[in-house]
Structure 1
Amino acid sequence: MSKRHWYWWIPLALVFASALGTVGLILWIAKRAEPIYSGTLELAGLSRPVEVRFGPHAVPTLVASDLEDLIFAQGYVTAAERMWQMDLLRRLGGGRLAELFGQDAVAVDRFFRTLGLPLEARRALEALEASDRALLAAYAAGVNAYRERARHRLPLEYVIAGLEPAPWQPEDSLVIGAYMAWTQSFNMRAELTFLRLARRIGPERARLLFPTDAGLAPPEVPPELVAYLATTATGPSSRPGFDSAAIVPFIDLPAWPGLPPPTAASNAWLATGARTATGEALLANDPHLAFSMPGPWYELELIGPRLHVAGVSLPGVPLVLIGHNADLAWGITTAVADTQDLFIERPTPDGRAVEREGRTPEPIQVRYEAIQVRGTDPIEIAIRSTSRGVVLNDILGVRTATPMDLADPDLDALIVLRQNHDHPDQSFQAVRRLCQARTLDEARAAGLDFRHVVLNLMLAHHDGGIAWQMTGVLPQRGRGAGAFPNPGWNDDYAWRGEVPQALNPSLTDPPSGIIITANQRTIPPDHPLRVSNAWMSPHRAQRIAARIENAGPLTPESMAAIQADRISLQGRMMQSSLRRLEAEIRALDPGAWLLAERHVLDWDGDMDASSRPAAFAALLEPALFQALYGDELGEDLPYLLSLAIVAYNPLQETLRTGESAFWDDVTTPEPETPAAIWARALRKAKTALDGYGAEVRLADLRRVRFTHAFDRLPLLGDLFSVGPIGVGGSSDTVDVIKTEPQAPGKGLFGASMRVVATPADWRRTRGTLTLGQSGHRFSPYRSDQLEDWLVVRSHPWPWNGPDDAHTLGRLQLDPLDASERVER
């Protein structure tokens, strides 16, 4: 090196040293925020010591001699791993994100303030028994003990954002529960979409796009609504030549701020001892939620007075939501029940009241709330309501590219939402009673305390028995089925109260020895109780049933193998549909038929990550949606497609029957045949496939990303989020990867955890999370379960703690001052 140029290396060395120093500082800040797994901590708020033993994957077993101390410790240990996630969840559901993130979060806060989740949480807290309120207070005290101890060593996210967590309140846990219950409600979005499509193509034609289930047509549209819509202006005209490239994702996940949005999906099945190799009952469960970083569950075991339970909890909520005690195991799936109705309200000319046929107009009620906004003055919002429900107009059509976006039908009327919230929720009481239940009947009764969320509660007992109980409260409607909006001015359509929960469907020890719930229709079509107007596809349930019948006597291993199944019955229906039209497609477009033979017809329906035909099938679905419906729905097609992941859709019914009222392309002079539409879709799918390059496989286009709240920020997104990762699976496979049809490459939802429970010997119960226990960026337990999740492996759930050989650490939590211990 020339001596004349040596000095040029000085600034480069300084830059390099500065970069190293910055990286080192970030790593030091992040690592010092991580929890300790061994040692002793003294915490104000404890009355007696609590032992925490950490096993593989940093899964804790908490042992206490006092129940409130046990729940205090759960709050502390969970917050030590997940404080940032817990903070965002309570603020999201409580409409308080703008306090942290400023003006960008106001629209999201307005959404949840309008829906009233904070009010519901306060009502629920006031209605709880004193003992349950005490448990929530103990959990809050544990979280706050962590907050106080971590004041100068907060998680990295708080340091970057210049924030700190506010004190935890007991109602915060109920806000999180209310938010998760809201994610399991869907009909509001479907009814808004119907209104938008009805204004474009008319209500009777739009109705055809909302089948109830395979072979079940939707209910009739209220005639008063048909008459009303006939008097309104038509919606946007369809654009001729509308191209599939314009079918953008309706929900552009990662959903800001990287937290779980609504989705209807989960699998669970039960087997009595008569169907298993050992005579024991078995339970398999894999609830499906959005991919997020951290994942939605925290695994742990709790041992205390009148309580011994293991499983997964929602960070921010005490006890265990899915798991088992010494006597029985329970899992949950979404029942896809219709507990939401929209009412069209006609306002009076002065806008202060709404019309009522045959009586005086009803005044509109208004409540005011203030949204605190970081960096600026609070924003006051007015939330209107009538006796039919809360007015949604102020949150319709707001584009945030998140699941909080609702279609605006652009009507000169008020759109009012009614939900099954007439009485306070009792979900926390339900969880506590489940954790302490001894019999199937006790557990079923506990499940009915889930009032605001309708779930399939699946139960397996150590004596070999199984049971299913549908939870929640269903509305007692007047006229109308609730599938489509009701005329609010007509009192005949008003709700009449609640259906008695004694009528909720349930089943114990069926003769078949098997119970399956996978969001499919679980009751016969002629059942006297209307549970849903839009079940999900029966495909996952049918595939589970087929695997069970072919498995012989069931074992935990064969149950887990079913969870890995990726056979798509929708893909096989595509093949059947094509074969029905072979002669017509060959005659009309031989090249298109050659594509079918080459890419579809020899395929086994396996949506394996390495499959090339699976990649073509993934692209054929949106091409079929476009070819069938794009000409009439135009720019509104994405609204229909956004419902395809939460309900049985018209394309699935067309694939099943070969029939559709939409075969013809209305933008061309000659009527199209099914063969023409199929040929068009096949060629469109091939063009899309070619865009990915030669030898493309499903994993090359279908990817998942576990999104963090910082995901949309430059550099920070890639630092904190995990992925993208190529995967197999589809929206209708048992090992599910849900995608919107118009965005087949973006996995939105999947198994958020998996478990196979073995009531005869709890030590053989196994499960896995998507990522890991920790939310800390550089923790070794942040994503140590990811590889197991991808290949559907699992690890033993703790029962009576880890043995010495598998103990990661022992942490003793002691009262801060032994002389001030309070005897309870």
Structure 2
Amino acid sequence: MGIGFRWLLRIAAGLVALVVLVVLLTYYLASRSLPDYGRSVQVDGLSAPVEIVRDNANVPHIFADSDAGVFFGLGYAHAQDRLWQMTMMRRTAQGRLSEVMGRRTVAIDRLLRRLDIYRLAGQSLEAQDAQTLAALDAYAAGVNARLQQVNDEALGRGAPEMFLFNAPVAPWSAADSLALVKLMGLQLSGHLSSEVLRARVSLLLEDESRIADILPDVPGAGLAALPEYSSLFPTAPRYAEAKTGPRDPLSPVPRRGFAGASNAWTAAPSRSASGGTLLANDPHLGFTAPTVWYLARLELETGGVIGGTIPGIPVVLTGRSARLGWGITSAYVDDQDLFIEQLNPDDPEEYRTPDGYKAFQTRPSIIEIKGSPPITLTLRWTENGPVLPGSHYGLESITPPGHVAALGWTILSPRDTSLSAAMALMRSRTVQEAIAASEGYIGPAQNLSLVDQDTIALKLVGAVPRRDPRHQSKGRMPSQGWRSENRWQGRMPYDTNPEFIAPAGGILGNTNNKIVDRPFPDHISFEWGDTQRVNRWQRLMQSRQVHTRDSFIEAQLDPVSFTARTLLPLIGADLWFTGEAAPDGTPERQRQIALSLLADWNGEMNEHLPEPLIYAAWVRALQARLIKDDLGPLAEEFDHVDPLFIERVYRDIGGASAWCDVRQSAPVETCTDMARLALDDALLWIGETYGTALESLRWGDAHQATQDHQVLGDVPLLRYFVNIRQSTSGGDNTLQRGLTSGEDPTPFHNVHGAGYRGVYDFADPDSSVFVTSTGQSGHFLSRHYDDLSQLWRRGEYIPMSLDEGLARAASVGVTLLTPRAP
């Protein structure tokens, strides 16, 4: 017995020692890839030294004697901090994820191969101007210098993930950066999905007039510039007089409602307390750890620029120079059309055109799959664009037999000069120069908010397809690809893109809302990304005569839901303060408590309050009850509440209250019945998930920002090291936007929002501030992996200065890159 016990003890001790050894070895190997920011490195590809000064937030400030040296330094810094992220984005664009991830990502690779964006990016190199080509080559050389250093010095393969997913890392090329721009376009695309959904709904609904309810048009005229303050408040003094003082996380295809969103607003000197122009911008993308955004300062020959970059792309996409500030919001241009192509009955390798049948352009493509045999695809293109199989986007449900679907999309241009335009924008000094520089921008289409020292402007940049006024579906649903009136006729002239320059009211902004109301085909889009936030923005902007940097920050962080304030009085109109007292613990009592809480609520989606959770669960349950009997399984596609739909139903616009009656039941249900039943559904779900003590609920417990690692985020134990979870305020329709997942069992997780926030005051540019939602490093052992996340959650910022002395004063390290000795 004693001998057996001793052996068991020895075995246990050995296992513990083995575990400790494995942990220490893993930590050692992973920590080898942690960058050393305070050293000198000899590298190939340089003709003169480059200095990378890391400020106390680990933001690189890059100095060199030429622009080529600066872009070399940016490539090196990106690869130091985000090598894994860069290589995964490149593999996504290439359609080569499965070489590393196995069968999990085959569907993603199939789609990206068919879209062919990587080949098109390579072709677009010839269209770039000389400055951009030089910058791309220098940037690639900087990335490759870091790769060479990792290999020469055995620096843990550059990132800890490389040990788990061992695959060779090819040298970076100029085409790789162009491909990532196109990949960003895919992440911000939504019109293809909308066309398919509209077609499916039209096929399903017996009453076609109900399509306008469930897929409503955005009402009203467009809004970008606000009127003069004095016209709204005639008795208010003018500023001049007042002188007021100072699904697979790896998939780049967005779900419906996730095709990009953002906020941006500007104020002219006449509406600024400091007398300088103001700009605030917070682009919204899906949350990941690390965030897609990376802060950097580039000291170019034309002056310094600082702001948000995306690793792999050598431009500041949103930020400022000493003279110009720029911000971006998704423009929702209808830049995608789905064409149903008719096959030749006698030869399925041909499709019908206005001039008769024509052969597809075809090319084989082989997808290598880790652990499985490779797959060979035949890529097919028509004159309208690449052919997509029925397995993508649910196309099989709307494509007739003997036909295939082809995609027309502005991003699929082999002469895409978007990056050259972005480079020229960085070097612009005035609003007019910036607008002119952006003419070559193709996509993804953006509303570009601009300020210089004196002027504010908003310009839609990006290619807008020219459509025939006779187009069968006006681009809203798939159309017959062989009819000439359905085909694109080139690009609309750049000067017809909407623009607003120096409006009399002194305020411009965009929340992805409708900015113009033009008839087809000059309409820009039938679908817009926001119908709600813009109302709150308009109120905040016009509630004060002049603005400051802090008032712009306050608007960025505003958690009040205009939607909740609008919908609750409608859906609860016949429920407030009705009925007799009910015993504790009964559904009736819970309903009364919930209604009492909501009746005193101001619509603030504060993480510490119970009302936002009750409201969100109620309207979610309500929409589900309204549409499920009519749409059946298709109702699952509507996983986020559409406020316009609910409002149409409860105001009975065009007979929309018909949605309240359950068709399969004998009684005729009223909208009050549906509201009451939905509230009971919501309270039952809340009770099962968070408990029955309604007053103790916290919205933040449900609305956690899920900044998860795209690959390791689901790995047991490891997920606690790589995921960043935070309780957050805001919601789907607040300016502090935190779009919820819409998917059970966590429908209110915050999965899409402002990964970057910046606010710039050109009366004192160095008082400008910025922040990202995680940190600069993609290495989960680095203190800079999540050091900005708590600031971001609390609504705090860090200084954003072009002052070299401030960067050096509290730097975490200075990297000196010097040419390798011959």
Q: TM-score, normalised by structure 2?
A: 0.88
SS of the residue corresponding to residue 814 of structure 2 reads strand
Which segment is superposed worse, 776-785 or 688-697? 688-697
SS of the residue corresponding to residue 369 of structure 2 reads coil
Q: Does 1:790 align with 2:790?
A: no
SS of the residue corresponding to residue 311 of structure 2 reads coil
Pairwise CA distance, 1:395: 3.9
| Contact 1:61–1:302 (8 Å) recurs in 2 | yes
| CA distance in structure 1 between the aligned counterparts of 2:409 and 2:292, rounded to whole angstroms | 25
* Distance change >3 Å, CA 533–CA 777, structure 1 → 2: same
Q: 1:571 is matched with which residue?
A: 564
Pairwise CA distance, 1:528: 7.5
SS of the residue corresponding to residue 100 of structure 1 reads helix
| Contact 1:535–1:648 (8 Å) recurs in 2 | no
Q: 2:514 is matched with which residue?
A: 521
Cα deviation code 1:646-666 (max 9, x no counterpart): x87523544676644422211
| Contact 1:111–1:395 (8 Å) recurs in 2 | no
| Contact 2:266–2:280 (8 Å) recurs in 1 | yes
Q: 1:159 is matched with which residue?
A: 163
Pairwise CA distance, 1:595: 5.8
SS of the residue corresponding to residue 283 of structure 2 reads strand
Corresponding letter in the other structure for 2:764: D
**Mapping of 1:522-601 within 5 angstroms?**
522-524=515-517, 529-582=522-575, 594=592, 597-601=595-599
Which segment is superposed worse, 319-328 or 375-384? 375-384
Q: 2:481 is matched with which residue?
A: 488
Pairwise CA distance, 1:762: 2.2
Which of 664, 668, 671 is residue 665 of structure 2 equivalent to?
Answer: 668
Pairwise CA distance, 1:530: 0.8
| Contact 1:30–1:777 (8 Å) recurs in 2 | no
* Distance change >3 Å, CA 259–CA 19, structure 1 → 2: farther
| CA distance in structure 1 between the aligned counterparts of 2:161 and 2:716, rounded to whole angstroms | 14
SS of the residue corresponding to residue 440 of structure 2 reads coil
* Distance change >3 Å, CA 320–CA 656, structure 1 → 2: farther
| Contact 2:38–2:815 (8 Å) recurs in 1 | yes
* Distance change >3 Å, CA 134–CA 408, structure 1 → 2: farther
SS of the residue corresponding to residue 346 of structure 1 reads strand
Q: 1:414 is matched with which residue?
A: 404
Q: 2:710 is matched with which residue?
A: 709
Pairwise CA distance, 1:375: 4.2
| CA distance in structure 2 between the aligned counterparts of 1:740 and 1:408, rounded to whole angstroms | 25
- Percent identity between the two aligned chains: 29
Q: For this pair of structures, how many residues does the alignment match?
A: 770
Q: 1:304 is matched with which residue?
A: 300
| Contact 1:702–1:746 (8 Å) recurs in 2 | yes
Q: Does 1:807 align with 2:796?
A: no
Q: 2:645 is matched with which residue?
A: 650
Cα deviation code 1:698-746 (max 9, x no counterpart): 1122222212132365326515532433322111001111024455322
Corresponding letter in the other structure for 2:683: K
**RMSD in angstroms over aligned alpha carbons?**
2.7
Which of 455, 458, 470 is residue 465 of structure 1 equivalent to?
Answer: 455
| CA distance in structure 2 between the aligned counterparts of 1:215 and 1:688, rounded to whole angstroms | 37
Q: 1:27 is matched with which residue?
A: 27
SS of the residue corresponding to residue 507 of structure 1 reads strand
**Mapping of 1:690-769 within 5 angstroms?**
690-691=687-688, 692-693=690-691, 694=693, 695-711=696-712, 713-715=714-716, 718-743=719-744, 744-769=747-772
| CA distance in structure 2 between the aligned counterparts of 1:572 and 1:685, rounded to whole angstroms | 19
Q: Does 1:368 align with 2:369?
A: no
SS of the residue corresponding to residue 448 of structure 1 reads helix
| Contact 2:591–2:683 (8 Å) recurs in 1 | no
* Distance change >3 Å, CA 528–CA 273, structure 1 → 2: farther
SS of the residue corresponding to residue 84 of structure 2 reads helix
Corresponding letter in the other structure for 2:600: D
Q: 1:334 is matched with which residue?
A: 330
Which of 676, 679, 682 is residue 679 of structure 2 equivalent to?
Answer: 682
Which of 492, 501, 512 is residue 508 of structure 1 equivalent to?
Answer: 501
Q: 1:636 is matched with which residue?
A: 634
Corresponding letter in the other structure for 1:278: S
Q: 2:584 is matched with which residue?
A: none
* Distance change >3 Å, CA 652–CA 157, structure 1 → 2: farther
Pairwise CA distance, 1:353: 3.0
Q: 2:234 is matched with which residue?
A: none
SS of the residue corresponding to residue 57 of structure 1 reads coil
Q: 2:217 is matched with which residue?
A: 212
| Contact 2:739–2:750 (8 Å) recurs in 1 | yes
Pairwise CA distance, 1:583: 8.7
Corresponding letter in the other structure for 1:295: T
Cα deviation code 1:776-814 (max 9, x no counterpart): 110010000111111110000231333543122222111
* Distance change >3 Å, CA 494–CA 137, structure 1 → 2: same
| CA distance in structure 1 between the aligned counterparts of 2:480 and 2:579, rounded to whole angstroms | 50
| CA distance in structure 2 between the aligned counterparts of 1:514 and 1:55, rounded to whole angstroms | 33
Cα deviation code 1:221-247 (max 9, x no counterpart): xxxxxxxxxxxxxxxxxxxxxxxxxxx
| CA distance in structure 1 between the aligned counterparts of 2:338 and 2:297, rounded to whole angstroms | 42
| CA distance in structure 2 between the aligned counterparts of 1:696 and 1:720, rounded to whole angstroms | 28
Pairwise CA distance, 1:387: 2.2
| CA distance in structure 1 between the aligned counterparts of 2:425 and 2:315, rounded to whole angstroms | 10
| CA distance in structure 2 between the aligned counterparts of 1:531 and 1:103, rounded to whole angstroms | 39
Q: TM-score, normalised by structure 1?
A: 0.88
Corresponding letter in the other structure for 1:30: A
| CA distance in structure 2 between the aligned counterparts of 1:335 and 1:203, rounded to whole angstroms | 32
Q: 1:239 is matched with which residue?
A: none
| Contact 2:81–2:779 (8 Å) recurs in 1 | yes
Q: 1:778 is matched with which residue?
A: 781
Q: What residue ranges of structure 2 are gaps of 5+ in the alignment?
A: 223-246, 581-586
Pairwise CA distance, 1:162: 2.1
Corresponding letter in the other structure for 1:91: R
| CA distance in structure 2 between the aligned counterparts of 1:4 and 1:584, rounded to whole angstroms | 73
SS of the residue corresponding to residue 58 of structure 1 reads coil
| Contact 1:158–1:164 (8 Å) recurs in 2 | no
| CA distance in structure 1 between the aligned counterparts of 2:252 and 2:483, rounded to whole angstroms | 41
Pairwise CA distance, 1:759: 2.1
Pairwise CA distance, 1:775: 0.5
Pairwise CA distance, 1:279: 0.4
SS of the residue corresponding to residue 10 of structure 1 reads helix
Corresponding letter in the other structure for 1:808: V
SS of the residue corresponding to residue 662 of structure 1 reads helix
| CA distance in structure 2 between the aligned counterparts of 1:214 and 1:654, rounded to whole angstroms | 15
| CA distance in structure 1 between the aligned counterparts of 2:322 and 2:530, rounded to whole angstroms | 35
| Contact 1:44–1:816 (8 Å) recurs in 2 | yes
Corresponding letter in the other structure for 1:78: H
Which of 189, 193, 205 is residue 193 of structure 2 equivalent to?
Answer: 189
| CA distance in structure 2 between the aligned counterparts of 1:4 and 1:716, rounded to whole angstroms | 33
Which segment is superposed worse, 533-542 or 647-656? 647-656
Corresponding letter in the other structure for 1:699: G
Q: 1:223 is matched with which residue?
A: none
Corresponding letter in the other structure for 1:548: M
* Distance change >3 Å, CA 47–CA 799, structure 1 → 2: same
| CA distance in structure 2 between the aligned counterparts of 1:124 and 1:653, rounded to whole angstroms | 46
| CA distance in structure 1 between the aligned counterparts of 2:83 and 2:713, rounded to whole angstroms | 21
Q: 2:52 is matched with which residue?
A: 52
Corresponding letter in the other structure for 1:193: L
| Contact 1:573–1:655 (8 Å) recurs in 2 | no
Corresponding letter in the other structure for 1:388: N
| Contact 1:137–1:169 (8 Å) recurs in 2 | yes
Corresponding letter in the other structure for 1:747: N
Q: 1:290 is matched with which residue?
A: 286
* Distance change >3 Å, CA 470–CA 552, structure 1 → 2: same
Pairwise CA distance, 1:201: 2.0
Pairwise CA distance, 1:449: 2.2
| CA distance in structure 2 between the aligned counterparts of 1:356 and 1:450, rounded to whole angstroms | 30
Q: 1:235 is matched with which residue?
A: none
Q: 1:605 is matched with which residue?
A: 603
| Contact 1:193–1:407 (8 Å) recurs in 2 | no
| CA distance in structure 2 between the aligned counterparts of 1:9 and 1:701, rounded to whole angstroms | 45
Which segment is superposed worse, 303-312 or 522-531? 522-531
| Contact 2:713–2:723 (8 Å) recurs in 1 | no
Q: 2:237 is matched with which residue?
A: none
Q: 1:627 is matched with which residue?
A: 625
